[in-house]
């Protein structure tokens, strides 16, 4: 099994996504979305170069993968697998969320 690490920030992001969906659409829908996100993260771990580099964020090696409507930012691990850094709603200004704009 490919290595999948999830940073503390990404864990918080995923928890917020779950809570928001659960409040708006119920726990069953939130659980279904989490399964879809988890499936995508597992796929990234197996195929670490699947997504393109996240250009314009001044963070070398960071990749950006879309799981609509979210964007997953991750880094491939040298020994195989990935580290998930953040998971954001792609409808928001991601650069601002990452603190890259003033």
CB atoms within 10 A of CB 46: 14
What is the domain count for the chain? 1
Mean pLDDT of 1-6: 89
Residue 53's beta-bridge partner residues? 63
Whether residue 102 is contained in a domain is answered as no
Whether residue 77 is contained in a domain is answered as yes
Euclidean distance between CA atoms 40 and 14, whole angstroms:
13
Whether residue 99 is contained in a domain is answered as no
Whether residue 53 is contained in a domain is answered as yes
Residue 5's beta-bridge partner residues? 83
Whether residue 68 is contained in a domain is answered as yes
Euclidean distance between CA atoms 83 and 85, whole angstroms:
6
> pTM (2 decimals)?
0.85
Enter the DSSP assignment of 52: P
Both tokens assigned to 67: 């799981």
Whether residue 63 is contained in a domain is answered as yes
What is the span of the domain harbouring residue 87? Answer: 4-92
Whether residue 100 is contained in a domain is answered as no
The CATH number of whichever domain residue 43 belongs to comes to 3.30.2310.20
pLDDT in tens, 51-88: 988 887 666 789 999 999 999 999 999 999 999 999 99
């Amino acid at each position: 099994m490919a290595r999948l690490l999830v940073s503390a920030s990404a864990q918080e992001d995923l928890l917020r996504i779950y809570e928001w969906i659960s409040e708006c659409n119920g726990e069953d829908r939130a659980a279904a979305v989490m399964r879809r996100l988890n499936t995508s993260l597992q796929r990234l771990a197996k195929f670490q170069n699947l997504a393109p580099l996240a250009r314009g964020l001044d963070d070398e090696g960071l990749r950006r993968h879309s799981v609509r409507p979210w964007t997953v930012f991750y880094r491939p691990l040298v020994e195989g697998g990935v580290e998930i850094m953040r998971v954001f709603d792609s409808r928001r200004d991601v650069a601002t969320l990452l603190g890259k704009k003033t």
